[in-house]
Amino acid sequence: MTADLAAAPGRVVVVGAGMVAHRFAEQLCRRDGDWTLTVIGDEPHAPYDRVHLSEVFAGRTPEDLVLDTSVWDDPRATLVTGDRVVALDRAAQTVTTASGRVEPYDQLVLATGSWAWVPRAEGTDLPGVLRYRTLADLVDLRTWVEGRAAALGRPLRGVVVGGGVLGLEAAAALGTLGVAPTVVEFADRLMAVQLDAGGGEALRVLVTELGMEIRTSTAASRVLAGDEGTVAGLELSDGEVLPADVVVYSTGIRPRDRLAREGGLPVAERGGVVVGPTCRTEDPAVWAIGEVASHDGECAGLVAPGNAMADVVVDRLFGGDAVYAKAADGTKLKGVGVDAAAFGDVLGLTPGALEVTFADPVARTYRKLVVSDDARVLLGGVFVGDIELYSQLRPLLGRPLGADPSAFLAPAGGAAPVQTDLPDDVVLCSCSHVSVGTVRAAVTEHGCRSVGEVKTCTRAGTVCGSCVPLLTKVVNGTLEKAGFTVSKAMCEHFGMPRAELYALVRAEGLRTFSEIVARHGQGRGCAVCKPVVASILSSLGIGHVLQPDQVTLQDTNDRLLGNMQKDGTYSVVPRMPGGEVTPEKLLAFAQIAHDFGLFTRVTGAQRLGMFGARQDQLPEIWRRLVDAGFESGQAYGKSLRAVKTCVGSTWCRFGVQDSSTMAVRLELRYRGLRAPHKFKVGVSGCARECAEARGKDVGVIATEKGWNVYVGGNGGFTPRHADLLAEDLDDDRLIQVIDRFLALYVRSADRLQRTAPWVASYPGGIDALRRVLVDDADGIGAELEAEVARHVGAYVDEWRATLEDPEMLRRFTPYVNAPDATDTDLSYVPVRGQARPARPDEQGYPDLLSARAAGTQEER
């Protein structure tokens, strides 16, 4: 590059107005100098976020996806939309658009991206065969589905060809639109490029549970036409024919390199404009970045390498010496409803590589790390169902892990500490190519004092968002080292964490949200703080959750005192302390379920649940349950769910203590106790642990000397064995210790924090917690016990209290303007003698009672 060019880029023209072009414009506009920038795009929109494209079907508007428009406020920058560049004259150094606009350039940057490739096959030109890549594609998909469904008068059936990331997003979008989706993938697993066999199988299980049908190891042969000349089905290479009203192809991308080809620039054998490490083409005045650029024979299909290329070109235009080097890819599945992510060498192809895997088919999780032959250096990772470790470990790719790999994956829940004192050169945000050092400099040199300010300053965490957890830790750690207080505000309305607010409400005797926000907050509250305040008031025993000044604070489940299910109905789960229920109560339960046509099953908490109750049916169901001696099991609340137990010494020949009696005692003591999150208790009558107590928030295991109590267990997304808190306790001492533990947890845990992370992060660990709770080192034991005693004395069954209050009962009328109306859109099908909600392709089945009556027939 000449000195003159380095000093003055002159007239810079970018062809293409996608995310990479926007990144280039952002970086260029940060530079001083006498230059101009013109960005020309053929889409009618300003550059928008393609990474979160599917969120349009989750309620976001196209305008919500538009990237920061302030860059176009720079008088040197001009954005042209809806005008495709059709010709490149390298001799005259001009580009010409379809509208006839001729734009001269001194430096031309090709950022034309790629197009969705559809294989040549019969029928791919039929109406109803669509693609899934741009905003226009999404509009076409919604328009076709809504119009076709109206014309046919029934839900549609859809097929997505391609089981990669975008294909699964397309299938999820079809599901959102009410179309039953089937995914066809040529490879033997989903996300075959990113996942190994185990991860692909785990993902298949998860998406199948969401209602997707999966066909792997087969290909789409041809699209079949119906009588109206529109798509009617898809024939597969194995001969199967899938009925379809819409077919979406997501079979890969091809670089949009036509302009370069016709302009005489070298193009790679597999497509893409040939560039070197500077991203410059054969023509010294022409550059290529993003998906259209072929570097070392490969075109990148992700935003991160495109952004890195944009940075390189801007640097070179101003005389820098930056070069582009391909980095290991990382991929995160979004917008589908399940979590999957992977990075690096997921197949263990590196010579000598070792694979460390943990799969939990019950929790539906799969995690694998690929490490060097000495188990020290991280080479890759696969995460399905639980991707918490993805953002924390990906920056360590190619670096020492600092711990035994199995410690990250073990059921103990990630026992190995993830480093936050990372070297400055570690790339924290690969999408925007932001290093840890840049993040720290944003705090120490540029005055950023929050994660939001750092994101604005560096652009870290602004694309896919997967790095935000680690970004938060690095920012907060840097602030603390610099002597700043890290904000722990709950939200914009309360500048304090939940524990602090709890203490204030308790100390000052505040009783309503209005009082609390007037004294300690501002504004009218939000979806974050309102449920927190509701939980605090309930924990302190201040009124029924449905009283007028509290009901508007509650989440949906708490407002209706039942868990909302996928079809908009509710579950009804009465309490059965310790899993015990008398024959008389069983008969009453069965009769109620029969009369209302409800699906019944034994829950994982040793209780019986009814499913499929309409909102207007809930009070009458409760009334009959209460009359039979039942009460609310609070399966809907952030409170005690149940106490799981074995039969203990009452029946079992191995039992050493009466675990059943203890379980009933504990459940009746802590029923209705509102907490920062739900909590579960288990009581095992001997060391054989049939109640799986160590996987519970509070676990009690019998010994010949008494009871051992464990705390902080979790069997959810991040399984964790509970820690031993105290040994060989008698009955009363056991109750005392558990009282203290739960009261302290309610006091000091953060919002929506389970006991497992609370115990794990307690200052000083389990030893310090033992000193406070067992040894009463802080002298607060009696105070904590009194809080639980107050709760026990004030307990009221929420179902019974609701039935006794006419005002509360009015809230269960589904249609205010038509009190006697019911929801007639519910649809059910028979399965194993009962009725379950119909899938989208089964809508229109007869009503629930008819389905229940037909339920003795096996589901076809």
For residue 705, pLDDT beyond 90: yes
What percentage of residues in the chain have a pLDDT greater than 70? Answer: 92
For helices 436-444 and 468-481, what crossing angle results, to 10°? 40
- pLDDT for 59: 66
Instruction: Count other C-beta atoms under 10 Å from residue 318's C-beta.
Output: 17
For residue 375, pLDDT beyond 80: yes
Instruction: Find the largest Cα–Cα distance for the chain.
Output: 94
Mean pLDDT estimate for the chain: 87
For 141-150, 634-643, 803-812, which range has the lowest pLDDT when averaged over its residues? Answer: 803-812
For 180-189, 243-252, 347-356, 461-470, which range has the lowest pLDDT when averaged over its residues? Answer: 461-470
- Whether residue 197 contacts residue 175, with contact meaning beta carbons closer than 8 Å, is answered with no
Rounded to whole angstroms, how far apart are CA atoms 178 and 52?
A: 20
576-585 average pLDDT score: 92
- Let me know if 172 is exposed, middle or buried by CB neighbors in 10 A (0-12, 13-18, 19+): buried
Rounded to whole angstroms, how far apart are CA atoms 646 and 583?
A: 19
By three-state DSSP, how is residue 424 classified? coil
- pLDDT for 812: 79
41-62 average pLDDT score: 85
Q: Which residue has the tokens 């001729």?
A: 102
57-63 average pLDDT score: 75
Q: How many residues does the chain have?
A: 860
Provide the edge-to-edge strand list for the sheet that holds 231-236. 220-225, 231-236, 241-243
Rounded to whole angstroms, how far apart are CA atoms 707 and 684?
A: 9
* CATH number 3.50.50.60 given to 3-115+255-317: yes
For residue 311, pLDDT beyond 70: yes
For residue 850, pLDDT beyond 60: no
For 143-157, 422-436, 674-688, which range has the lowest pLDDT when averaged over its residues? Answer: 422-436
For 19-23, 301-305, 339-343, which range has the lowest pLDDT when averaged over its residues? Answer: 301-305
- pLDDT for 557: 74
Exposure string for 429-439, b = 16+ CB within 10 A, e = fewer: bbbbbbbbebb
**Local confidence band at 646 (pLDDT 50, 70, 90 cut-offs):** very high
The residues facing 104 across adjacent strands are 94
Where do the domains of the chain lie?
3-115+255-317, 129-249, 339-418, 420-482, 498-541, 638-796
CA dihedral sign of residues 796, 802, 804, 808: positive
For residue 818, pLDDT beyond 70: no
For residue 858, pLDDT beyond 50: no
What percentage of residues in the chain have a pLDDT greater than 90? Answer: 54
Rounded to whole angstroms, how far apart are CA atoms 432 and 454?
A: 13
- pLDDT for 412: 45
**Local confidence band at 1 (pLDDT 50, 70, 90 cut-offs):** very low
- Tell me which amino acid residue 593 is: A
* Per-residue model confidence as pLDDT tens digits over 389-438: 888 888 889 888 877 888 788 654 444 445 557 888 888 888 887 888 99
**Local confidence band at 806 (pLDDT 50, 70, 90 cut-offs):** confident
**Domains 3-115+255-317 and 129-249 fall in the same CATH topology:** yes
261-286 average pLDDT score: 95
* CATH number 2.40.50.1020 given to 129-249: no
* Per-residue model confidence as pLDDT tens digits over 169-179: 999 999 889 89
- Whether residue 108 contacts residue 11, with contact meaning beta carbons closer than 8 Å, is answered with no
Which H, E and C letters describe 122-184, residue by residue?
Answer: CCCCCCCEEECCCHHHHHHHHHHHHHHHHHHCCCCEEEEECCCHHHHHHHHHHHHCCCEEEEE
Q: Can you name the CATH fold of 420-482?
A: Arc Repressor Mutant, subunit A (1.10.10)
Of 253, 215, 217, 210, which Cα lies nearest the Cα of 234?
Answer: 215
Rounded to whole angstroms, how far apart are CA atoms 505 and 509?
A: 6
- pLDDT for 227: 86
Per mean pLDDT, which of 204-208, 326-330, 756-760, 814-818 is the most reliable?
Answer: 204-208
Q: Report helix, strand and coil shares of the chain as percent, to nearest 5.
A: 35, 20, 45
- pLDDT for 513: 85
Rounded to whole angstroms, how far apart are CA atoms 443 and 460?
A: 13
For residue 131, pLDDT beyond 90: yes
- pLDDT for 485: 75
- pLDDT for 825: 61
CATH class name, domain 638-796: alpha beta
Angle (CA) 533-534-536 rounded to 5° is 60
- pLDDT for 489: 76
Half-sphere exposure for 71 (CA within 13 Å, toward CB): 26
Per mean pLDDT, which of 434-443, 446-455, 587-596, 757-766 is the most reliable?
Answer: 587-596
CATH class name, domain 339-418: alpha beta
For residue 335, pLDDT beyond 80: no
For 384-393, 640-649, 816-825, which range has the lowest pLDDT when averaged over its residues? Answer: 816-825
For 3-17, 313-327, 359-373, which range has the lowest pLDDT when averaged over its residues? Answer: 3-17
Of 462, 423, 105, 106, which Cα lies nearest the Cα of 307?
Answer: 462
Half-sphere exposure for 76 (CA within 13 Å, toward CB): 17
* Per-residue model confidence as pLDDT tens digits over 498-540: 888 888 888 888 888 888 888 888 887 777 788 888 888 888 8
Of 159, 151, 149, which Cα lies nearest the Cα of 180?
Answer: 159
Copy the structure tokens of residue 536: 């605090």
> Which residues contact residue 839 at a Cβ distance below 8 angstroms, ignoring those fewer than 6 apart?
180, 211
122 phi-psi bin (left φ>0, alpha ψ -120 to 50, beta other):
beta
Report residue 641: phi and psi, to 5°: -85, -60
The residues facing 358 across adjacent strands are 367
**Helix H segments across 671-822?**
731-748, 755-760, 765-773, 781-794, 798-803, 806-809
- pLDDT for 830: 83
Which H, E and C letters describe 100-115, residue by residue?
Answer: CCEEECCEEEECCCEE
